[in-house]
Amino acid sequence: MCTRAPSLRGKDLPLAALLSAFHSRAVRRFAALLVLAPALAFGQAALDEELAATREMVRFNPDEAVARLARLVPQARTAPLATRAELHWLYSSAIRRAGDPKRALAMGDELVAWGRAARDDAVYAKGQLTRAYALFDLDDLGGSHKANFEAERAANNTGDLPLRVQATISAGQSFQEQGNYPAALARLQAAIDLARTVKKDNAPLAGALNALAFLYTDMKQFDKGWEVQRESLEVAQRMKSPGRLAIALATEYGLAIESGQHEQARRALLAELDVERRLGARQMIADTLVNLSDLYLKKRDYRSTVGFAQQALAAGEDVKSPLVIATARVNLGQAYLGMGRLAEGRRQFEAGLDAYEKNGVKPELQAVLVEYGAALEQAGDYKGAIDAYHRERDISEEMFAEQRQKAVLELQQKYDTEKKQRQIDALRQENRVKGVELDNRRLQQRIWWLLAIVFALAAVVVGLLYRKVRQANAQLEVKNRELKQQSARDPLTALYNRRHFQEFMRHHGQVEPGQAGHGKAERRQQDGDLIGALFLLDVDHFKHINDSHGHAAGDAVLKMIAASLRETLRETDMIVRWGGEEFLAFLPAVPRGGLDDVARRILHGISSQSVEYQGRMLAVNASVGFAPFPLVALDTPMSWERAVNLVDMALYMAKSHGRNRAYGVRGFHDLERTTLEAVEQDLESAWRNGFVDLVVVTGDMLDGVPAAAETLERADLVA
């Protein structure tokens, strides 16, 4: 995730449009300086020289400029209007760049009032430019454009050439933001021509060339952009101004990135960073470090990405720039995910997302979520990736709905305007040809043809929009089906996951209370027909396999067991990866006397296979707990959750009595003398007290034949 390299609206720092929205407290500590500043004995000439020396500082070290200008406020109170307006103009610009656009907007309103009262177009134009820049930072583009055009009109009535150049540049950039590139190009070329007439000051020319290079970048006319950029760099070097050189290098970076010249972009950023560090421009340093981290991220150089992103994070915290901090964290998160550091990557990504979400920048948040989902998917965190894609889809749908509503309203407004104009034209034509019947008929025919064409065009437009919406909905439906399929499967074994089984049982697996003697499943049990069953399986000594051979060996064992269960059981049986090394099988229909055989087949199917890993054969056994389902206690079927819990207790008994065997619950006796909760808490004690019937199936082989199942007597466990 990179910052915006080109400058906008005469504000030469990258990301000016977004960064300013985050800085709300950066300069409040300087407010007391307005009252406490010492009375310096400056004359008028000395004051003008001090203001001139502070201009470049306003652009590149706004915090220092705020403190310096605050000390000049008492001296300017008795100065001429032009001097007071210049101080107010510079001070408001420094405050805005330091992160307080609302206060800068109020100061711009004061300048406008001064200009109107004195009928001074220069002061009025400066006030409107101040308002335009502050409104831009506050995301009021309409108000910003209106103020820019008003500033241009007023500035053109003055003889202040630098002011006219700046106002013309700002008007051109407003046209650029509106997408009116021909008007923007004409304004910026006019600004360059006007700047060339300014004597002994190359700053207006540098600003105009920089803006034109950015416009050509936006228009994808890279050859012209490079031509202007070369002159812009030459002017910046001729000025011997580190700040202007840094701005030119930032524009070169943006042009190189957009034209696909990544190495050129890297060199420009490193050169820019060196200049900014010598200049001490902390905000520019923070932005450049973020851009460097993004550049190395695109090259998959994660180590360099982490280095520059950490530097950007520290720089962002230094200048209190939440957007720089958020972008640095996103780049850190993506780099850590690329390096396999999943937990740290998720933590950094989520911290960055939180900042974007609080700011409400939906397009930026959507782009970051897409990158987040892709990075999580590549790192193997499919659930996290699906969550990120769901969040991105929700934002996309919100943006699409807003854009569609806006488009419909604009179309309706345009149609109403055209309809009103047609009615006016028709009335005028009717008045002119009144009394001439033939001409009147021809006019009516033309009007009807025009209406037919308009309605036909409207129908075509609506049809195209409807078709586009249908295609988008169809693609969304396909994506939803894919995501639903992915969310129901375990990515390692391709078996159903626990969530899918819970959803299935919630809709299909419950038996209505009070129906134990009347339900279909209970009738089958009474008739000795088919019954359902639950089998819970756990791999023996799985931790030892992971500790001795590594998690890759453990994954191979889990895949083998999944394949064995598919081969042993039927297609109609639901096999679930229950969690970790546990598997659950739900058999909807099995002969009542066949549960022991199923358990035996499961045990033998696993123990008869070995897993080959790195030249070694790994023998694997498993322990199983099982029971019929529904499992009836006191004439009431147990819920599937309680049945699984009881099967889990049987599995625990299989583990504690030798492993590689299966313990099955057949039924209950005399539950009136105890409670089902007591049975669930200690199945073995319940069996010893005669409340539960158990059967054991061992995984041992006798002369190549599996051992028979045995009804478990209490003496067996004692022995």
Whether 165 shows a pLDDT value over 60: the answer reads yes
Retrieve residue 624's tokens.
Answer: 């199983």
User: Is residue 623 very low, low, confident or very high in pLDDT (cuts 50, 70, 90)?
Assistant: very high
DSSP tag of 20: G
Q: Is the peptide bond before 628 cis (omega within 30 degrees of 0)?
A: no
Residue 127 lies in a domain: yes
Q: What integer pLDDT is reported at residue 24 of this predicted model?
A: 32
3-class DSSP state for residue 451?
A: helix
For residue 633, what are the β-bridge partners? 636
**Same-domain pairing of 477 and 555:** no
Report d(CA 16, CA 99) in Å as an integer. Answer: 10
Q: Judging by DSSP bridges, how do beta strands 692-698 and 632-633 pair with one another?
A: unpaired
**Which CB contacts under 8 angstroms, 24+ apart, belong to 393-398?**
393/476, 393/479, 395/362, 395/365, 395/366, 395/369, 396/366, 398/362
Give the amino acid at 501.
Answer: F
Give CA 254 to chain center in angstroms: 23
Q: What integer pLDDT is reported at residue 440 of this predicted model?
A: 73
Residue 654 lies in a domain: yes
Whether 594 shows a pLDDT value over 60: the answer reads yes
Which residue is associated with the tokens 């590549």? 378
Do 75 and 40 meet the contact criterion of CB atoms below 8 Å apart?
yes
Q: What integer pLDDT is reported at residue 55 of this predicted model?
A: 75
DSSP tag of 407: H
Average pLDDT estimate for 247-264: 88
- Torsion angle, CA of 648/650/655/658, rounded to 10 degrees? -170
- The DSSP secondary structure of 354-390, one letter per residue, reads HHHHHHT-HHHHHHHHHHHHHHHHHHT-HHHHHHHHH
Report d(CA 605, CA 568) in Å as an integer. Answer: 7
Q: What integer pLDDT is reported at residue 448 of this predicted model?
A: 85
- Domain end, chosen from 108, 124, 158, is at 158
**Same-domain pairing of 169 and 153:** no
**Same-domain pairing of 644 and 621:** yes
**Same-domain pairing of 474 and 541:** no
Q: What integer pLDDT is reported at residue 443 of this predicted model?
A: 81
Q: What integer pLDDT is reported at residue 181 of this predicted model?
A: 92
Q: Over pLDDT 90: what percentage of the chain?
A: 29
Report d(CA 123, CA 359) in Å as an integer. Answer: 34
Whether 513 shows a pLDDT value over 60: the answer reads no
Report d(CA 247, CA 230) in Å as an integer. Answer: 13
**Same-domain pairing of 121 and 184:** no
Distant-in-sequence, close-in-space partners of 266: CB < 8 Å, separation ≥ 6: 292, 295
**Same-domain pairing of 462 and 500:** no
Report d(CA 173, CA 6) in Å as an integer. Answer: 12
Report d(CA 376, CA 385) in Å as an integer. Answer: 5
User: What's the maximum distance between 2 C-alpha atoms anywhere in the chain?
Assistant: 122
Do 666 and 633 meet the contact criterion of CB atoms below 8 Å apart?
no
Q: Judging by DSSP bridges, how do beta strands 622-629 and 661-668 pair with one another?
A: parallel
For the stretch 103-135, pLDDT in tens is 999 999 999 999 999 999 999 999 999 999 999
Burial-class residue 198 by CB neighbours within 10 Å (0-12, 13-18, 19+).
Answer: middle
User: Is residue 324 very low, low, confident or very high in pLDDT (cuts 50, 70, 90)?
Assistant: confident
Helix-, strand-, coil-residue percentages of the chain, each rounded to 5: 70, 10, 20
Number of domains in the chain: 4
Start-to-end Cα distance in the chain? 67
Whether 536 shows a pLDDT value over 90: the answer reads yes
- Torsion angle, CA of 580/582/586/591, rounded to 10 degrees? 170
Distant-in-sequence, close-in-space partners of 77: CB < 8 Å, separation ≥ 6: 84
- Domain end, chosen from 158, 177, 206, is at 158
Total Cβ atoms within 10 A of residue 24: 15
Report d(CA 160, CA 74) in Å as an integer. Answer: 26
Burial-class residue 278 by CB neighbours within 10 Å (0-12, 13-18, 19+).
Answer: exposed
Retrieve residue 619's tokens.
Answer: 């023998």
Which residue is associated with the tokens 């894609």? 389
DSSP tag of 673: G
Average pLDDT estimate for 606-628: 91
Residue 615 lies in a domain: yes
Residue 299 lies in a domain: no
Question: 131: closest CA among 150, 114, 144?
Answer: 144
Whether 20 shows a pLDDT value over 60: the answer reads no
For residue 719, what are the β-bridge partners? none
**Same-domain pairing of 456 and 569:** no
Whether 186 shows a pLDDT value over 80: the answer reads yes
Q: Judging by DSSP bridges, how do beta strands 622-629 and 616-619 pair with one another?
A: unpaired
Report d(CA 629, CA 623) in Å as an integer. Answer: 19
What is the extent of the structural domain holding 178? 160-280
Residue 705, H or E segment: strand 705-706
Report d(CA 59, CA 280) in Å as an integer. Answer: 12
User: Is residue 14 very low, low, confident or very high in pLDDT (cuts 50, 70, 90)?
Assistant: very low
Q: What integer pLDDT is reported at residue 377 of this predicted model?
A: 79
Whether 285 shows a pLDDT value over 70: the answer reads yes
CATH code: domain of residue 226: 1.25.40.10
Do 70 and 77 meet the contact criterion of CB atoms below 8 Å apart?
no
For the stretch 366-383, pLDDT in tens is 778 777 777 787 777 777
Total Cβ atoms within 10 A of residue 156: 15
**Same-domain pairing of 481 and 507:** no
Q: Which of 180-194, 270-284, 591-605 has the lowest mean pLDDT?
A: 270-284
Whether 158 shows a pLDDT value over 80: the answer reads yes
CA distances from 197 to 76, 202, 204, 299, 639 (A): 31, 10, 10, 44, 88
User: Is residue 514 very low, low, confident or very high in pLDDT (cuts 50, 70, 90)?
Assistant: very low
User: Is residue 78 very low, low, confident or very high in pLDDT (cuts 50, 70, 90)?
Assistant: confident
**Same-domain pairing of 152 and 176:** no
Q: What is the mean pLDDT of the chain?
A: 81
Give the amino acid at 232.
Answer: S
Residue 268 lies in a domain: yes
Q: Which residue has the higher pLDDT, 40 or 257?
A: 257
Retrieve residue 140's tokens.
Answer: 């009021």
**Same-domain pairing of 56 and 106:** yes
- The DSSP secondary structure of 114-169, one letter per residue, reads HHHHHT-HHHHHHHHHHHHHHHHHTT-HHHHHHHHHHHHHHHTTSS-HHHHHHHHH
Report d(CA 183, CA 186) in Å as an integer. Answer: 5
The sign of the dihedral angle between the CA atoms of 364, 98, 239, 191 is positive
Do 211 and 175 meet the contact criterion of CB atoms below 8 Å apart?
no
Distant-in-sequence, close-in-space partners of 337: CB < 8 Å, separation ≥ 6: 345, 346, 349, 375, 376, 378, 379
- Domain end, chosen from 451, 469, 488, is at 488
Q: What integer pLDDT is reported at residue 707 of this predicted model?
A: 54
Q: What integer pLDDT is reported at residue 575 of this predicted model?
A: 95
Residue 293 lies in a domain: no
**Same-domain pairing of 412 and 265:** no
Residue 221, H or E segment: none
Residue 575 lies in a domain: yes
**Same-domain pairing of 34 and 144:** yes
Q: Which residue has the higher pLDDT, 673 or 458?
A: 673
Do 122 and 82 meet the contact criterion of CB atoms below 8 Å apart?
yes
Report d(CA 525, CA 294) in Å as an integer. Answer: 66
Residue 188 lies in a domain: yes
